[in-house]
Every structure is written in C-alpha cells, then in structure tokens.
Structure 1
Amino acid sequence: MMALSDTKLRNLKPAGKAYQEADDGGLFIEVLPGGAKVWRMRYRNGGRGTKQEKVTLGNYPAYSLVDARTWRDDCKALAGRGLSPMALKRGDSIPKDLPPAAKELAQFFIRNWCMKAMAKVKAKEDASREADTVEAFTLRWYAEIVEPANSNPRNIKRILDKDVIPAIGARQITDVTVTDILAITDKIKNRGADQMALQTRNVLKRLFAYAIAREKTQFNPAAAIEAKFIAQARSRDVALPPEEVGKLLRAIYQSSMKRAHKLALHLLILCMVRKSELIEAKWEELDLEKGEWAIPGERMKKDKPHLVSLSRQAVAMFEELKALASDSEWVFPSSHSLKQPIAKSTLNVAVRALAVDVRDFVIHDFRRTASTHLHEAGFNSDWIEKCLAHETKGIRGVYNRAQYAGQRREMLQWWADFVDGQIQNGRGKVIIGPFGKAYAAS
C-alpha cells in the first residue's frame, strides 16, 4: 500500500458514493460525493483485541497531510495509554485516576486538536453567517446586479445606506420578517415621504428576489406587502407598477378607440409631457430626423421652452401620426375640423371607457409613473426633473439648464424599451401594430 501524497490528495475526485484512500497507521481520507475530503483514523483503544473506534480530524486542505499525520501519532499515543481520542473530542472529561503523564498527554491533545478543531468550525460558521447578513448580501447585490444594469445607481445606494442597512444590516437574510420591512417603510412615511417608502419597499423586493435566486433564503418579506399598504392613495399619488403599465397599454391597444388616441396615450407615457403639451402639439415643433420635439415656452406651464428627446419608438409613432393627420398643422387634429386639435377631455373619456383592472388613476399620473420607475432604476434625479420640465432653483438650476441632453436621450430610450417589455410581459402577445412608415404603408 502506497502512502498518500499531496499530489494524490489534490487529484482525488468525488464519485457516486463515498470512498476511502488509506495512508498509514490507521489514517485515511474519505472522499464524499459532494467533493469534501475528510481526515479520519481507525484505532483500538487498549491494543489488539479491543473494539475498533473511528475519530475525525476535519477536512483537507484545511488540515494538511503533515497535520493529519501528527494528529494520527498523538491519537495513537493516547490509545496506547487506554485513552479514547473520540471520547476526548466528544467532550468527555479526563478520568481523575489517570497517571500524571497520561493526564498531561490528554490535556495536550485537547488543547492542540479538539479546541483548535472547534475554533476552526466556529470561524467557518461565523464567516458564513457574516456573508449572509443583510449588509453583506446588499453589497453583493449592488455590485453584481444594480451597478452593471444602471447608468447612475446612486438613488438605490442612498436608499440602502440611509434606511435599510442602519435598520436591518446586521440581521441574517433568513431572519428578516414582514414586520421588519414595515418598520422601515413606516419610519419613512413618518417623515412625510410616502412615495419614498414605496420605492424602498420596491428596492427591498428586488434585493430579496435576488437572495432567493442565490439560495440564501426562501421568503421575500417585501413582496408579501402589497404596494397599496405602503403608499395608498389619492389619485395624484398614483404611480403604476410595471405590471399595471403593461396591463393598461395592452388594454389600450386591444380597445376600439381611434388609433391616434392609442398612440397619444402611449406617447404620454414615453415622453413624460403633460396632456395639454401633447394634444396641442404642432408639426412645426417636431424634428423627426434629429429625434427632437421643441415645445415653445408659451405652451409650457413655466413659460420656458422645453426640449424632448424622442426614443426610437416615439419617432415611429409620430411618423405614423403624420400619415393620420391629413396635412393638418396639428399632430392630433379634431375629427370635426383639421384646423383645431382634439378636445382636452378626449383622452380622459377614452381611458374611462377601458375595461381594465387597474387602480384609479388620471392621465397626469403617467408622469409620476415614469419618474418613479426611472428613480427606482437608479437614474440621476436631475435628468428626470429636466424631462418633467421641473425647474431646479438657484445657481444649480441655471447651470443645469443646458445639461444632460445626451443622458436624457439615453434614459428615455431605456424607458421606452422598458415599457415595451411590460406590454409583452402578459399572458400571450398583444398585437399593437407596426408604427411609423411601416404602418402608413400597410
């Protein structure tokens, strides 16, 4: 029989069932199906003719071949004096009537092997528990999922640092309960920030979904809390969740309303403009080649001109609307006269006629919906505010006035793609028809 070597130990591969490779003097290594390699030893306590016992040291390579052989020699010395290494490892007390030399040997064995082995196990357990705390797993989720998928994830980082980690960062992922999530959101709501409480719940929902995917827990405490129990309420506070965005647009395209009105509602979501700014739009404001819509100041709430960067989807919709407008100067001419736009109530009436199970909302809530999801996705707040034509006060507002054109274009394209994904996320596919020139030619 050849003794073990480090090379042979490294090359041992798991099999369908456990198997053993012997070294010498009763020492052997057991290779388990899962790949673990465990040092064990057979010995007879008291010499030939006594019952054979087996004791375990620990795993290779945590314990090297040299460690295992030294341990084997100490076990044999104990067994030769009638002491059981297995009993000492188990924690049995040293017999009081032992000769001093044997007692000293037993104490040496406990100090150098039993206590060190327990310390290694505890250190491994502590490291594992630390890796599974909310704070540690949050750092992993942020690095692996949030940062690569978001051009500016600082809003999510702010939520985590300000409200999540201080509250439950030291807790184990598996120990977090619905009550813990509610305590966080209630504290935020007490600051008067209901929508931030909802965003925090949504961030936690995504975090725990990833924890489930990585087999760190089996329960998502944030998903167990419906959004309406976090920030219920008035129509002016509504921000549709992704699944309701998809449900609403599928209902719009499957309805009998005019094609132009379907596109108008879709554009309100994509462009983040107010309803009056869209329905009173004129073709002279649009440059479809550049993908830009320049709304003059007199049509804006703050009397300041506003430039909308158009996504590919929005450009295609305007191309189609151009064909539907019958040479009117208005993008959405009235059915009664090409010389005036549709009435301000037209789209509201169309929405109220929809047979769709979506919470109460008004068209203006499309802006809040876009803002909420863009913030949740980690986009810069300044970019979002510029898209909403909200005025930033002070010097920062003056500096930012001409900024972020490229970033806003990229962000609105991401948003248009995101909305497309929600439309097709329902059961089966909904045909919304080709946009733009393809539609006009069909």
Structure 2
Amino acid sequence: MEQKKLTDEGVAKLKAPTDQQFQNHFDKHVPGLVLRVSAKGRKTWVAQYYTRSTRKEDGKPITIVTSKSLGLYPILKVKEARDKARLFLADPKKALSEAKALAEEKMRVEEKALAEAKARGPSFKEVAENFVKRHVETKGLRTKADIERLLAKCVYPKWGDKPFRDIKRSEVADLLDQIQDKHGARQADVVLAIIRKTMNWYTTRNDDYTSPVARGMHRSNSTDHKRKRILNYDEIKALWTACDSMTDKTVFGAMVRVLLLTAQRREKVATMQWANLANGVWTIPTEAREKSNAGSLTLPQVVQDIIAAQPRLEDNPHVFPGRTPGRRRKSTDKTPPAPPAFNSFSKAKEAFDLLMLNELQKIAEARNDSAKLIFVAKVRTLLEANAAAKGREAKKELTRQLKQEWWTLHDLRRTAKSLMAKAGVLPHVSERVLGHSIKGVEGVYDRHSYDAEKADALQRLADLVDRIVNPPEDNVIALRR
C-alpha cells in the first residue's frame, strides 16, 4: 500500500483508471485517509479503519478493514479532508454514533415538517398550478398565458411556498398595495381577479375553506377606464383625406376606412382573408373562447371597392398583408410560419396621426377656428414628445396624456356606433353590427339573423360618412365629442 503526499494540484490531475473499477490513493500525512477514483472519474474521500468481526479464526476474533465516505473532491479539498479524517479516525465508533443520531434527528425534523405541511394543506403555487390545469386549460381560456405570467411575476415570489389556507385578507391587501405602487392600480386589479378566481375555485373543492378576498378590494374604478371619445365630423373628414396621403395607401389607410365603415374590431379587420369574402358578404371567423362577433356582414359598395383595390399576394391570404415572407419571424417548432396579417399598427398610426393633424389644421385655418388650432398644436406637441421620449416612465405618461386628447383605432368602433344612431339605426341592430353579445331574454329567444337589417345599417353608416366627407353646400352637420 503505497502512500503519497496528496495535494490539491496533484489530486486534480489524477486520471480515472482504465483497467479496474476504482483506484485508491493513500495519503502520507493522515494514515487511513484514502482518495478513491472511480472508472468514471468520480473522486471520493474515504476514511479506512479496522473493526472487529464476529467471525473468528483459530479461535480468535479477526479484524476487517471498514470504509466511511467523507465527501467528494473538489467539494472537499485536501486540507478539509484531512481534518475530517482525523476527527473521525480518533474515535470511529463515537463518530458513527453521532452521525447516526444526527441523521435520525434530521429525519424526525423532516417528517414533522411534512406532517405540519400536510395539515396546513398545499402551498399557494400548488393550488394555482392545479387551478390552471383543471380550470383554465379545461375551459380553453385564451388568457392562460397572461394568468401564468402574472402569477409568476407578481404572486409566486411572495406566496409561492406559503400554505394556501394560511393566506389572510391583510396579506392580500399588502400584496395588492405593492403591485399598485410598482405597476399601477389596473395591474393590481387584474392580479386580484386571478387570486379571487383561484380561491373561489378552491372553495368549490373543499368543505371548510372560505376565501379571504372580499368585495371592495379593487384598486381602481372600472368606470374611469371606459372611454367616451368619438371623432367629430371635422376629424372624420381629416381622417378620410389623410388615408389618401399615406405613402402605403393600400394597407393602413384602407384599413382605417374599413374600420370606420364596418365598426368591427381591429384584429378582425386586420386578419380579414380573401377566403372570408364572397358576393359582397364578409363572413367573420370565430375562434374558440373569443368574444362574440357580427357573424356575416353584407358590405356597402364603398367597402367592397376599398377591398377590391388591395393587391392579392400569392403567398399571403390576407386582404391587408403584413411583412414579406423573407422577413417573417421563425417559428419555434421549425414549421413554416403562417403568412402574416398587417401588424405594424403603432408605427403606421404615428405617421398617420401627423398627416391627419395637417388636414385638421387646414380645416381650422379655413374657418379661422382658434380653439381647434390650439387643440391641433397641443396634440402635435404630445405626438412629437412621445416619439422623442427615451425613459419608460416618461413615455408612459406621454402616452396617457395623448390618449386623453387624441383618438385610438378602437374609438372608430364607438364613432361608428354613434353615427349609426345619428343615421336612424335602431340600437338592437347596431349592437348586432358591432357583434356585442345580446343579454337577457332577447339574447336567448331572438334567433333572427338580422342579415338584412345589418346590411341596411352599414349602408346608412356609409351614406352618412360620405355626406360628412363630401357635405352638400347647403347642409351643415355637427357632431360633438
């Protein structure tokens, strides 16, 4: 048994044996300390000592070599291994007894903790993950990704390992306060809705659980978020003219006009496909778990003309196509990506807003309307400041101010609804044009398609927009915001 002076540098260079299962290297400084190197290169510190066997030879008890693992290299360096070996070899029996007692104590502590955890029930994360699996996924909710993202970002860092039943109302309030301070009242309310649904779901599956979430814990007033902005007649006229001024007239400008003349959601118009159109009728596809839509609409001739003017691309089925195939984002599963619909809304809207402001300024100057000129200057200043803003918070504040003063694409939907009312369209018809879900008894029992009524409503809308854009000289129309 050759002994050698083991050093960290020398141990690091030791190679795995090729002709045996393991090879022992005995330390010269501490007799009994062995470095065992396996055929796979694993290096283990071992303390070897002699113990008496129950077997006898020539009537005398025999001693056998026994090994005790001390740890792995390089976790345990040479010096630490020697210290640990000296301590163990000084009294192996005592060391083994103490190690056994420690192991038993550790097991008792773990078993006690496990029993207490079982008594308290699952952690919040365990319940939330089960909620996503058995409720969100089962029902095919389209908000699954947002729910998982907000749980991981806002809730799990605070409550992930906390027993679900131990969460108190004050802790819910504290969490919402932190989210509100950091991300705003709206996000706090969204997280509250997820927590409430999770706890209500858990309540339905347990006999003795009561949710700590109470009414009045939301952080914002929902009515404050309901926009009332519609475009007045001057703005509609400026918008219509700006559509002709767009460099890319065939896409964004045309899409803006279709949004106004059909009162449909942005996503539905942007993803319109040629296959959805036949004989002047647009059949709007419905995806699983999405909001209701208008179903099928007979389009006014002006909308049909706008659509017919769009170029058809062989490799893209959309009426308003997005980026060219060579610039498409690669898919994660290596399957060919679907041809894209138009998606450059922010960039196109920024350019369109400036063109529309120019047209609105011309209208104000022709009338010598000082109030409108001041409004145009204010919005232009906000647009330019927002475009030049660098910091996230500064841009967020400018965007908020801009939304208070200026219009968004979704405001065209509200404008179209108001224009249909002006044109004499009955509310229950215009609601069906917008694709809103009809509530109550009427929604349950009235199964009429309203195809003819919706077609008439869109034609009335188109006629009124035409009179706004090209008003008769003896007719003045006014619509206030």
Q: TM-score, normalised by structure 2?
A: 0.37
TM-score (norm 1): 0.40
Select the structure of larger CA radius of gyration.
Answer: 2
Q: Greater relative contact order: 1 or 2 (C-alpha under 8 angstroms, separation 6 or more)?
A: 1
